[in-house]
Structure 1
Amino acid sequence: MSTAAPTLRVEHHQQPALGVGEDRPRLSWHVETAPTAYRQGTYEVAWRTTAPDGAGQVRTLEDATAVVESDDQVLVPWPGAPLAPRARAEVRVRTRDGGPDDAGWGPWSEPAVVERGLTAAEWTAELVGPGYDEGPVATRRAPLLRRGFEVPGSVVRSARLHLTAHGLVEAELNGRRVGADELVPGWTPYDDRLRVYAYDVTDLVRPGENAVGAWLADGWFRGRYGFEGGTRDLYGTHVGVLAQLEVVTDAGTVVVGSDASWRSAPGPLTRADLYDGETYDARLLPAGWSEPGFDDAAWAPVVVHPLDRTVLAAPDGPPVRCTGELVPVSVTRAAGPDGEDGWLVDLGQNHSGRLRLSVPAAPAGTVVRVRHAEVLQGGTLYTRTLREAAATDEVVLDGAAITWEPRFTVHGFRYAHLTGWPGGTAQDVAAAVVSRVLHSDMARTGWFASSDPALDRLHENVVWSLRSNFVDIPTDCPQRDERLGWTGDIQAFAPTAAFLYDVHGMLADWLRTLSSEQRRFGGTVPVYVPWIPGGRFWRPEQDVAGWGDAATLVPEALHRDSADVGLLERQYASAVAWVDKVSGLAGPGRLWDAGMQLGDWLDPTAPPEDPLRAQTDPHLVATAYLARSARAVADLARALGRDDDAARYATLAAEVAAAYRGRYVDSGDPTHDTQTAHALSVVFGLLPDEDARRRAGERLAELVRAGGNTVGTGFAGTPLVADALSSTGQLDAAYGLLLSHASPSWLAMVDLGATTIWERWDSMLADGTVNPGEMTSFNHYALGSVADWLHRVVAGLAPLEPGYRRLAVAPRPGGGLTRAEARHVTPYGVAEVAWAIEAGGEGDELVVRFRVPVGTTAEVDVPGAAPAVVGHGEHEVRVPARAAQAPVEARTTSVG
């Protein structure tokens, strides 16, 4: 076998990486296949850096190679000079075998492309918005802005559009849409950081006359957002576009920036809102408005708004895009939630997205209306759980047929109800409707499958809830009047997310916002990020355990999966500030036993009207999390070489654990005898020794069995309960809990038709009616954090060192499953574990087949077989099934 060419990546960016913010972007690569004895000993990087010179030429800044003796291949330093703004580098890498066979240099990788974006000094464009009176909010139309311009010369060599907005923006050049990104520029604290997106528009610009245009909408900047009716003008009272188009031709460089010369007019979107949806009136679209030659003399001037250009920043993660399409599984005639007759469309899958409609011709003024919902009750859309989100889109026809989808909204739904459709049959409607699935365009990196279809459906539900809620920021839900970046949800779910998708860029970007908001509130991490005012209960100065701990545990989870020490360095001050703040609240006694806490939020025993009423003392949860985060900071400090900090925070963690035991364990208080309390004690390392851990695991198993193998945990306990059981020798109890169909349980959701993870264990009641509680969503990911345990313990694939440089192959078959498998794209390539019970010559065998990526080693721990350490390649272990069924603990490799 020869060594494959490396696959090269720049930071966590997709290819081509345009408009990046890093001037020295790090490089990573993996080698898919190599001879058994291969070991990278040296690598060589070749790069060529160019930049336009302003006179129509592209000049070479660097053309060089560098040879480095190292086995590092993940996030290695940039080899050349820092990239200047607008500089473009094409990079290749190859590796040399440093193993005993010394096979020499392998082949070169395909080139990776990276272009640096603009810094504040390179901007000449201004932020401009509509210059006419927009009128009252209720009748305000989303504006259009445009400008015509001339491109000299005969050849367009390159063109880049740098684009952002206050509000949401979609750009057009010469009548054609720029890119496929949605909801640009996303949601950040705009006065602190405003993302800029860069587009290669070389194919859209031509010599001679051209035109650029922009659609604008309120978005998060000034739209209605938040609880109880929401708040408008969160960041300002205006909308505006900032666009800088730079065109290199054979006659020089042309820069067309948004400025006072642009023109503005109301557009055909008479309503555009993230919660409520859109109304598009085709009669109001000015034909050819973004094309050359359009007469905009009747349009109004624009207004130039002040902007601090130092807040402009490149995004770390990918934009929101359409990542797939769903077609109806059924279309039936039915009444809508208000009794109106129409077509009920079932897409078969709860998701975030919006419909694209191909509407036949009908008289001008015909209104086709679409309402959305996650579930049905009584055969019609159930919209109460949307609270005050109208989730309604409308298209007003101009007499012609039209293919249309909204631009500046997104809905969480499975079902849609259409009224006003011009004639036709159910089959006609089904052929004319498609749902466009929208979320941040992350690459899929993790998979799981088993012999149990219900378990596989559960895992698929976890995937869909991730996709539905990773819409620019990690939200709680995609459907109702909330959709906020709840810190507790992502803290619980980050390890699962990092396995399933390449979430590193997106979450790294969100962590920048977390740090920003934390600084604003004196070390407090708000319960949702970005922070917005509103709601009866939430204040920015609240310090809430499990939620604020996102500052420590999300960076930890990302580092575990990616080995990104740079991210730890950037987030370290935030993690320390959180732990210092909370340890101050706990005081010398080291117990965080005062103040409002969410505790084990949405414990299944909590009544619909009071989700705070959990079985577990919320201050027990708070103190446990203080110990956990202190230990996380100690680990982060150790990874960064800050040994003094590591020792100090390890001591703090030990002191908090001792105080926890004194109050909640040694006291024997029966009120602390809950599934969550024992799970926290075991997994967070709060018990004094292995004997105490074993006893806690036994008691936890007793509680699970006494409850009929039903779940007794909320947001705090659910990510931990299966690990607490399996790591203390109670694997059977863990499987009993996982595979139970009794309510509350994961598979009870599946039995009731769930296609995503619910907010509550009983979001839908056994009789098919919806839980009456205000907090009732059918698309939250937090309770899906059990998927992390499926990957690590059921299938047996887990990291033992950051980035999977050393990984565990440690499956723990049980529960009657006859096979399970997990696959993950690590920074070193694909790792995979698949086990099955197969018939053998002398009885059934447990057969474990696994793949170890090049550049890594695996510690193999298969029940019934001797432990082993192996290198890269494909391997197999066979043991008698009977020997593999002996009781064995599962190592806790990714939590606690």
Structure 2
Amino acid sequence: MTATDPMLHVRGLRAGWSEDRFVTSAHPPLSWKTATTLPSWMQAAADITITRGGTTSTARIDGPDSVLVAWPFEPLKPLESARLSVRVHGKDGSISPWSADTEVTAGFLPAQAWHASFIGCGTDAPHLMRGTFDVHGGVRRALLHTTAFGAYDIHVNGIPADDAELKPGWTSYQWRVNLDVTDVTAHIRSGRNTLGITLTGGWYTERFGFRDAARRFYQGAPAAAAQLTLEYEDGTVDTVITDERWRWAPAPVVAASLYQGETYDARLQTPGWSGPTFDDSAWDRVQAVAVPDITPTLRSLPPVRVIEHRAVERVLTTPSGKTVLDFGQNLVGRVRIKVTGERGHTITLRHAEVLEHGELGTRPLRNAAATDRYTLSGDGEEAWEPKWTFHGFRYVEVDNWPGAFSPDDVTAAVMHTDMARTGDFTTSHTLLQRFHENVVWGMRGNFLSIPTDCPQRDERLGWTGDLQVFAPTAAFLYDCDAFLRSWLGDVMLEQKAAGGVVPMVVPAVIPQVPGLFKPVAAWGDAITVVPAVMWERFADYDTLKQSFDAMTAWVDVVQARAGASLLWEEGLQFGDWLDPDAPPERPGDAKTDAGIVATAYFFRSADLTARAATLLGREADARHYADLAARIAHAFRTAYITPHGRMMSDAPTAYALAIVFGIVHGEQQQAMGERLRDLVRAAGYRIATGFVGTPIICEALTATGHATAASRLLTQTECPSWLYPVTMGATTIWERWDSMLEDGSINPGQMTSFNHYALGAVADWLHRSVAGLAPLEPAYRLIRIAPTLLDDLDDASAWHETPYGMARAGWRREGTQVHFHAEVPPNTQAVVELPSGARYEVGSGTHTWLETHPLPARSRGPLSLSSSLATIIDDPEAYKAVLQAIRSIDPSRAEIFRRTTRWRQGRELREPLDKAPVTVLAAVQEALAALPPGRQ
């Protein structure tokens, strides 16, 4: 027997696309990670054992594959359980011990084996349902399958079956509903047993749409179904199902709405209602409820859970005398209260993200009341936490609390889909660090069953464009492969029903909105971009394969719309949505022509589809879509770019799209990068891009050698900028650059959210380019470590738990010296490209390098009113001196000067001050003269 190496072991063996023990496929892919301190370790082979039905067999996998490896055994049978273990062989001859066993269960039922009826009370009212059954003899295993058109919770003999929330989650219910499976063996007893279901409407009965146009989309009353499979120790099997013998009664949940909140009357509680000894003879019989004619499919993504509880940070009294609780963080979830008071006393809890002039800022919620009410039973201390709603909030207004209030009696429950955290970014730049934390909190709040645009107002929809730009950031921060796979399943169903058009929201529940089923660039392109991201970050070949027909269908739809010119210039477009120069009431009025945005995305989708075809071995498709992409790029360059690299739509987003998407190359790309740098400078290093341009503006600058401009843009604190919200106390990413104005009032536009992740998509550039940690091959099998030094940062680092293991990269300055570090996980390699131009190829392990990189020496000559505006803005100290000089005499003039000046080369500082009083001009001249010469 060959000896194993004690420095080598296998961890994290899993089947499928998440950590769930119950798998959705008969042949789930297998993944594992190797941990070792052996340098440059690479896997040569792996042995995998499976124990099923008392028999153990082994499969040999030759080569380095350890991520989503094809199932090497006979397919799992429905409900079959097995134990898996793996050991690895290194190219260096090392052998690991066998890993700990991983248990896997095929959670799906046999074909035609779903017999449960969908039952309910026949109305939308929340209600309780119960059914009883007898158990004879010892039970070896009890598996419970449950689902609902609505939101449900289920108890077994009075005990919650699991800790998941808002089950079964939101899908396109007309085509697909999730089926949850839970092992409840421990809850089953001999003799009489009970299943008890609480059922509310959830997303199924919600009114979707904007303001007065909100309507129900799904029709029919909520209904739930359950099927319990009892496997006895003697080998016999019994099945318990929901049917019309069950009984129902009203729930103490008087009303439940995701948008409006929950009302709970504790006087209506029925103790022991879900237990086996309860007498339900006074309850009514349930009825079969008509629901979409579909068979539930096993839930493939992790469930929604309460992830943490947060204490109250401050108790505030508003100018109007209200009591408001500040949790210190804009979060998504609900609050838990402990209270003692008289029977019938009702407490009201109103939620909001911000305060406006000291009062709860509820206007951005629009028609979402976001209000919970609890009526006390009067039976001593009572604890309550709503279960059938969620809110986006930092502040909670408490009304009618009985007796003295203590902040210890209230906590906030943070909820989201329970994905594993896999990445982070750190820097000593405190504002930038807070910004990145805001990105994380924005993702947490909006990854709740589906990827939503905002979690607080009367919307919370799966906008495809938001996820399209944010997918790379999401894939770094959390293990969201299974989450995205689930949502893409609905995208493809909705797209098929729409004749190849990807709706702007999925599930597509707002048909009253014009253009929902019309092709919209950057939004519909989610069907090509998201599968490509999942291949790049997770090596999810299966998703790429399943999505391919949808990718081609989308590109074909756009090609038909663009016509022979291949320029997509007609139809509804959002363009560079929320360009900061767009009026609050017209967020689509961007500087960049919508046709340029649309045609650039047309190219990108055709290009990604061609690449996917190559990976899938579809050679004819690869040639077709590669040729189409080349022709689109040519049409784009011919129509929109001058021979000298000037865009016909002379705006930053236009240049960024052409550069980052690879529409231009060589000298033309460089010329466009220089023009982009000039435009960024002309805007005073303030943001001049919207949803489409913002994620890629810094990447376009650094790719063309303008890291200094990217650094200034990144660390800007004036509005609009990424850091302005941080200076205003933001703890999540805002929808608008100025969701809150500098005077503390909320943006007057009707569309204002303080938790919207799209503008935080620049975090992907922080991870990949600034810290320098990027995949060169799928799942980071080959890593690119190429940090970018920014003048305004002293350090930057990132870590990411790749599918192969932990990877790290970063740098820090010490005087003129810069220390670089990297950690490469076993079974991977890295290509390292340092700022000096040095290039290394390294294997797994920890690596460090030291290079000399002094900050650029900038000399300052004499400055005056005749100095170039570009010279002034490129000198932060001079810019600040000019602004303060104007402000000291005329604050309103200073603000107009700040907002409207275009900082261009070849224009003198005196030009935008040509009508200023002599006193202002003198103050500016004096301030400039007082600046010390030499290094800035």
Question: Into which bin does the TM-score normalised by the smaller protein fall?
Answer: over 0.9
- From 166, 170, 176, the equivalent of 1:183 is 166
Structure 2 unaligned segments of length 5 or more: list them: 1-5, 859-936
1: CA distance between counterparts of 2:293 and 2:515?
Answer: 30
2:654 maps to which residue? 677
1:8 maps to which residue? 13
Contact 2:27–2:71, Cα closer than 8 Å, also in 1? yes
Write the deviation string for residues 614-658 of structure 1: whole angstroms up to 9, x where unpaired.
Answer: 111111100110001111111111111112211211111111111
Secondary structure class of the residue paired with 2:669: helix
1: CA distance between counterparts of 2:239 and 2:584?
Answer: 58
Secondary structure class of the residue paired with 1:570: helix
Contact 1:90–1:113, Cα closer than 8 Å, also in 2? yes
2: CA distance between counterparts of 1:828 and 1:718?
Answer: 31
1: CA distance between counterparts of 2:469 and 2:548?
Answer: 19
Write the deviation string for residues 371-413 of structure 1: whole angstroms up to 9, x where unpaired.
Answer: 0000001211111100000100011111122111111101001
- From 491, 495, 504, the equivalent of 1:514 is 491
Write the deviation string for residues 659-700 of structure 1: whole angstroms up to 9, x where unpaired.
Answer: 11122112888761101011011111112x311111111111
2:607 maps to which residue? 631
Instruction: Indicate whether 1:273 and 2:252 are aligned.
Output: no
1:106 maps to which residue? 96
2:391 maps to which residue? 411
TM-score (norm. length: structure 1): 0.93
Contact 2:114–2:295, Cα closer than 8 Å, also in 1? no
1:529 maps to which residue? 506
Shift of 1:264: 1.0
1:889 maps to which residue? none
2: CA distance between counterparts of 1:229 and 1:208?
Answer: 54
2:883 maps to which residue? none
2: CA distance between counterparts of 1:223 and 1:287?
Answer: 29
RMSD: 1.8
Shift of 1:310: 5.0
Secondary structure class of the residue paired with 1:672: coil
Secondary structure class of the residue paired with 1:635: helix
Residues 618/861 of structure 1: CA separation in 2 closer, same or farther (3 Å cut): same
Instruction: Indicate whether 1:40 and 2:23 are aligned.
Output: no
Contact 2:699–2:765, Cα closer than 8 Å, also in 1? yes
Secondary structure class of the residue paired with 2:208: coil
1: CA distance between counterparts of 2:857 and 2:261?
Answer: 55
Shift of 1:884: 10
Shift of 1:311: 3.0
Alignment length (residue pairs): 849
Shift of 1:243: 0.5
Residues 381/295 of structure 1: CA separation in 2 closer, same or farther (3 Å cut): same
Residues 261/825 of structure 1: CA separation in 2 closer, same or farther (3 Å cut): same
Residues 816/347 of structure 1: CA separation in 2 closer, same or farther (3 Å cut): same
2:822 maps to which residue? 850
Contact 1:143–1:267, Cα closer than 8 Å, also in 2? yes
2: CA distance between counterparts of 1:600 and 1:148?
Answer: 58
Residues 309/201 of structure 1: CA separation in 2 closer, same or farther (3 Å cut): farther
2:24 maps to which residue? 21
Aligned pairs for 1:288-327 (under 5 A) are: 288-306=272-290, 310-327=294-311
Instruction: Indicate whether 1:500 and 2:468 are aligned.
Output: no
- From 185, 190, 193, the equivalent of 1:202 is 185
1: CA distance between counterparts of 2:414 and 2:443?
Answer: 12
Write the deviation string for residues 129-152 of structure 1: whole angstroms up to 9, x where unpaired.
Answer: 115xx4xxxxx6311110122111
2: CA distance between counterparts of 1:862 and 1:696?
Answer: 25
Instruction: Indicate whether 1:172 and 2:155 are aligned.
Output: yes
Structure 1 unaligned segments of length 5 or more: list them: 51-59, 135-139, 887-896
Write the deviation string for residues 204-231 of structure 1: whole angstroms up to 9, x where unpaired.
Answer: 2211221111000111112223322465
Deviates more, 1:874-883 or 1:753-762: 874-883
1:561 maps to which residue? 537
Residues 115/229 of structure 1: CA separation in 2 closer, same or farther (3 Å cut): farther
Aligned pairs for 1:401-440 (under 5 A) are: 401-425=381-405, 428=406, 430-440=407-417
Shift of 1:865: 5.4
**Structure 1 counterpart of 2:608, which letter?**
A
1: CA distance between counterparts of 2:250 and 2:212?
Answer: 26
1: CA distance between counterparts of 2:619 and 2:813?
Answer: 47
**Structure 1 counterpart of 2:86, which letter?**
V
- From 64, 70, 75, the equivalent of 1:71 is 64
Shift of 1:119: 4.2
1:228 maps to which residue? 211
Residues 87/608 of structure 1: CA separation in 2 closer, same or farther (3 Å cut): same
2: CA distance between counterparts of 1:814 and 1:539?
Answer: 42
2: CA distance between counterparts of 1:37 and 1:830?
Answer: 14
| Identical residues among aligned pairs (%) | 44
**Structure 2 counterpart of 1:470, which letter?**
F
**Structure 2 counterpart of 1:797, which letter?**
L
Shift of 1:43: 0.7
Shift of 1:294: 1.2
Aligned pairs for 1:379-778 (under 5 A) are: 379-400=358-379, 401-425=381-405, 428=406, 430-535=407-512, 537-666=513-642, 672-687=649-664, 689-778=665-754
Shift of 1:595: 0.9
Residues 555/84 of structure 1: CA separation in 2 closer, same or farther (3 Å cut): same
Shift of 1:560: 0.7
Contact 2:331–2:414, Cα closer than 8 Å, also in 1? yes
2:125 maps to which residue? 141
Contact 2:797–2:809, Cα closer than 8 Å, also in 1? yes
- From 297, 309, 314, the equivalent of 1:330 is 314
Contact 1:168–1:186, Cα closer than 8 Å, also in 2? yes
2: CA distance between counterparts of 1:518 and 1:455?
Answer: 39
Shift of 1:248: 2.7
**Structure 1 counterpart of 2:842, which letter?**
V
Contact 1:865–1:879, Cα closer than 8 Å, also in 2? no
Shift of 1:178: 1.5
2: CA distance between counterparts of 1:70 and 1:826?
Answer: 19
Q: Which portions of structure 1, spanning 4 or more consecutive aligned residues, are displaced by more than 6 angstroms?
A: 667-670, 883-886
Secondary structure class of the residue paired with 2:847: strand
Shift of 1:604: 0.3
TM-score (norm. length: structure 2): 0.89
Contact 1:120–1:310, Cα closer than 8 Å, also in 2? no
2: CA distance between counterparts of 1:499 and 1:699?
Answer: 31
2: CA distance between counterparts of 1:22 and 1:551?
Answer: 23
Residues 566/743 of structure 1: CA separation in 2 closer, same or farther (3 Å cut): same
Contact 2:495–2:501, Cα closer than 8 Å, also in 1? yes
Secondary structure class of the residue paired with 1:778: coil
1: CA distance between counterparts of 2:356 and 2:696?
Answer: 34
**Structure 1 counterpart of 2:384, which letter?**
W
2: CA distance between counterparts of 1:195 and 1:483?
Answer: 20
Shift of 1:285: 1.4
Contact 2:247–2:286, Cα closer than 8 Å, also in 1? yes
Write the deviation string for residues 774-800 of structure 1: whole angstroms up to 9, x where unpaired.
Answer: 111000000000100000111000001
Residues 884/511 of structure 1: CA separation in 2 closer, same or farther (3 Å cut): farther
Residues 885/197 of structure 1: CA separation in 2 closer, same or farther (3 Å cut): farther
Secondary structure class of the residue paired with 2:811: strand
2: CA distance between counterparts of 1:378 and 1:741?
Answer: 22
Contact 1:120–1:312, Cα closer than 8 Å, also in 2? no
Write the deviation string for residues 72-130 of structure 1: whole angstroms up to 9, x where unpaired.
Answer: 1111111211111110121111111223xx12x21111222221121441222111111
2: CA distance between counterparts of 1:810 and 1:795?
Answer: 8
1: CA distance between counterparts of 2:167 and 2:256?
Answer: 14
Residues 885/29 of structure 1: CA separation in 2 closer, same or farther (3 Å cut): farther
Contact 1:447–1:823, Cα closer than 8 Å, also in 2? yes
Contact 2:173–2:292, Cα closer than 8 Å, also in 1? no
- From 111, 114, 123, the equivalent of 2:114 is 123
